[in-house]
Structure 1
Amino acid sequence: MGSVSTNYENTAAPGVPFYTPAQIPPPGTPLDKASAPTLFQPLKIRSLELHNRFVVSPMCQYSADDGHLTDYHLVHLGQLALHGTGLIIVEATAVEPRGRISPQDAGLWKDSHIAPMRRVVDFIHSQGVKAGIQIAHAGRKASTLAPWIGGTATKTLADESVGGWPEDVVGPSPIPFYEDHALPKELTKEEIKGLVRKFAEAAERAVKAGFDMIEIHGAHGYLISSFLSPRSNKRTDEYGGSFDNRIRFVREVTEAVRAVIPETMPLSLRVSATELMEWTGEESWTVEDTIKLAKLVPSWGIDIFDVSSSGNSYEQRFPENPHFQLDIARTIRKALRADGIDMVVAAVGNITDAQTARDVVQEGPEAAGELALVARQFLREPEWVLRVAHELKVGVKWANQYSRAGPRTDFSKKF
């Protein structure tokens, strides 16, 4: 006859500076791993161990105070940690003040940013979830207003009266993103080298804040992305012109970051796989360029290739297929596997229903990636992981404090 446990201690979560019950296993863990789809299977990348393949994609919230995260971020990201995602990536975080998209963007350009970041990371960790951060520079798309203020017929640019810096916006070439954006100053080679150092310094602060992984933002027309594109990069030095020259900045940033973070920490790169400007017949950054880049980045220290699109050209044209980005990720993954490259591919873009989420990462040659990155659907439904599990009939662990509200299958019961 087996013995009955007499341990009635409400065990505390380890490694955090406050009491909260330990989530063992973390919310979103399948109760029967053997029968669960790949979406609910664990994944290990270097020393990072995720309990499922759901990732909260970086989402700008325009709610920071001089770059510092606030209680808003603790609540916004904390609620997602309670509901079962495997990894949460904090929004695009600027490596210098003029690298912010808006005056209210998050930052990691000074040491005082570390403690508020650590507070958010500690809470995410307390729920058994992993925390990542996206380090970024807005480049020529900097000094704009939050979207619920800007982007109107009256004003997009944030001027000095609201904390903006329209006279100190920078890019690879003096080409504005659009007529309502600042005219960027062309970076000197010395300034480029300085920015490489600033990315590395931000990464060092991210390590001190306790993050489990770091992503470099090379997408959506921000600084790195604008260096990649021949439409926005008209330089004639070693940072412009040829493909090898246009990728030089992202290579130097990646290698500098990799050199200062632990060998055990995964490093991700987000790219816009296409500018969606092929319709012009003019030279632009294309899926073929992205595949070429993807085959190079593992040697620089990249572990995760995060496939997004667009954002560098105002005249971009989106395909009618809402899942075109997932198809691009699938194409890139197949090209990598054909060359024997097993780098993790992260797929993102309109993953809003259970079946799409399942199919994106389902193990096999048709998978779009190993990770499913989701943004706006988590804003609609913070508990979306649990809803997906219910719809796919996968039993999963709920947060201890929420477990009495788990999915009800027998509505004859009364509580």
Structure 2
Amino acid sequence: MTDIPDLSPLFAPFTCKTMRLRNRIVMSPMTRQFAPDGVLDGAVDDYYARRAAGGTGLIITEGTAVGHPVAHYSRNIPHFYGEAALARWRAVVAAVHGQDGAIVPQLWHTGLSRRRSASANPEVPNISASALTDEDLSAEAAAGTARASDRQRRPAEAMSKDDIDGVIAAFADSALAARDVGCDGVAIHGAHGYLLDQFFWERSNRRDDAYGGSVENRIRFAVELVAGVRAAVGPDFPILFRFSQWKSQDYAGKLADTPAALARILEPLADAGVDIFDASTRRFWLPEFDGSPLNLAGWAKKLTGKAAMTVGSIGLESPFLGGGSSATSAVTADNLGLLAQMIDRGDFDLAGVGRALIANPDWADIVQESRFADLRAYDARGHIKTLEQVGT
């Protein structure tokens, strides 16, 4: 095994407004679907608390649906609204706080990516920036090589101003609920080709009104939504915002080809109230633009002056693969050594760990103690195991 690099920058404390973290390790949001009809399974308390007990500084929950009729990805996605769902979240927050961890919910509206037949209100069409289907946005469709579908796909309905205002209100209500149940902040999902990102992306936003066309128009919905959340929660409650270049439909998709283009997207969001940008990439070590070593999170921090979190195959041997991905010995140490160097030089502030934390609830403690031989490999099949199997 190679010499163990200095990983201490990963374990320095971090503060953002009222949020105080013991280290820079964040459990990145990962969809698990452990909430039948939107209410969390009882074992979820232990699932998140085990990660906090294992040294994780901040937990960002899996995506949670806001209280809008067509927000939900499926019937097993947790709600962040309604008395029964919020009572369960209050218990989860208490369990995480009991292990000296912090927790924020990721608020989510899936737009045209909603699995309509497997979610609430299946008779109601999806909504999005424009009347498209998810398949219309694939790389194959963009290239003109997509095969004709063998079944009818119902397109989304283009959102009206009333729809936009209703979604903003739903996010604001859920953010206020997060504050009221004791969360340490709130995270907004604006990445991966879901609703807000559908407005950002030229390929999915074909509107000709105030919410389409120019970059300033395409980001208007998200800017108004962040401002609405900020007004609801007050000035001191931290707001995180996840964004990405890539889309679930097209890993090569891009919002911005230059730092200047990225600034036109992120600066208005920062002005509206974002405190921490969660920059989702597939490989954290790759520079985002030519001529600079900064990755996407690094550019978010440089352009806005706000804190930033990186994510993308942290601690994994084979990036973005399934059963072949593992977190072992020298590869992990080298991977994390680079990450620590990037934090230490101020590129970004936080590190989002995903699949490695599914395999290892105590991942942060193991890494801090340099016990790399104890790390268990991530198994893609573990992502669909029951809570009883993955929570211990």
TM, length-normalised to structure 2: 0.76
Match of 1:323 among 269, 283, 287: 283
SS of 1:135's partner is: strand
Give the total of aligned pairs: 328
Inter-partner Cα distance in structure 1 for 2:349 and 2:235: 21
Aligned residue number for residue 357 of structure 1: 336
Which residues of 2 match residues 260-279 of structure 1 at below 5 A?
Answer: 260-275=232-247
Inter-partner Cα distance in structure 2 for 1:356 and 1:292: 32
Inter-partner Cα distance in structure 1 for 2:159 and 2:201: 16
Aligned residue number for residue 385 of structure 1: 364
Aligned residue number for residue 26 of structure 1: none
Inter-partner Cα distance in structure 2 for 1:254 and 1:230: 21
Inter-partner Cα distance in structure 1 for 2:85 and 2:252: 43
Which residues of 2 match residues 49-68 of structure 1 at below 5 A?
Answer: 49-68=20-39
SS of 1:131's partner is: strand
Inter-partner Cα distance in structure 2 for 1:277 and 1:68: 31
Alignment root-mean-square deviation, CA: 2.7
Aligned residue number for residue 130 of structure 2: 173
Aligned residue number for residue 150 of structure 1: none
Report if the CA contact (8 A) 1:89-1:133 is conserved: yes
Change beyond 3 A, Cα 1:235–1:36: closer
Inter-partner Cα distance in structure 2 for 1:287 and 1:204: 35
Residue 171 of structure 2 corresponds to residue 194 of structure 1: no
SS of 2:61's partner is: strand
Which residues of 2 match residues 96-245 of structure 1 at below 5 A?
Answer: 96-143=68-115, 158-159=117-118, 165=122, 167-178=124-135, 182-245=154-217
Question: How big is each residue's C-alpha offset from its partner over 1:287-314, in whole Å with a ceiling of 9 and x where there is no partner?
Answer: 53434322332211111011115xxxxx
* Comparing 95-104 and 198-207, the one that deviates more: 95-104
Look up the equivalent residue of 1:296 and give its one-letter code: P
What's the CA shift for 1:335? 4.3
Structure 1: any 5+ residue segments left out of the alignment?
1-34, 145-157, 310-321, 394-415
What's the CA shift for 1:115? 0.7
Report if the CA contact (8 A) 1:360-1:367 is conserved: no
Structure 2: any 5+ residue segments left out of the alignment?
1-5, 136-148, 316-331, 373-392
Aligned residue number for residue 272 of structure 2: 300
Match of 2:13 among 42, 55, 58: 42
Inter-partner Cα distance in structure 2 for 1:232 and 1:41: 40
Aligned residue number for residue 63 of structure 2: 92
Look up the equivalent residue of 1:79 and give its one-letter code: R
SS of 1:39's partner is: helix
Residue 255 of structure 2 corresponds to residue 285 of structure 1: yes
Inter-partner Cα distance in structure 2 for 1:36 and 1:278: 30
Report if the CA contact (8 A) 2:190-2:197 is conserved: yes
The percent of aligned pairs where both chains have the same amino acid is: 29
Inter-partner Cα distance in structure 2 for 1:115 and 1:338: 39
Instruction: Please identify the structure whose Cα radius of gyration is greater.
Output: 1
Look up the equivalent residue of 2:305 and give its one-letter code: D
Report if the CA contact (8 A) 2:190-2:196 is conserved: yes
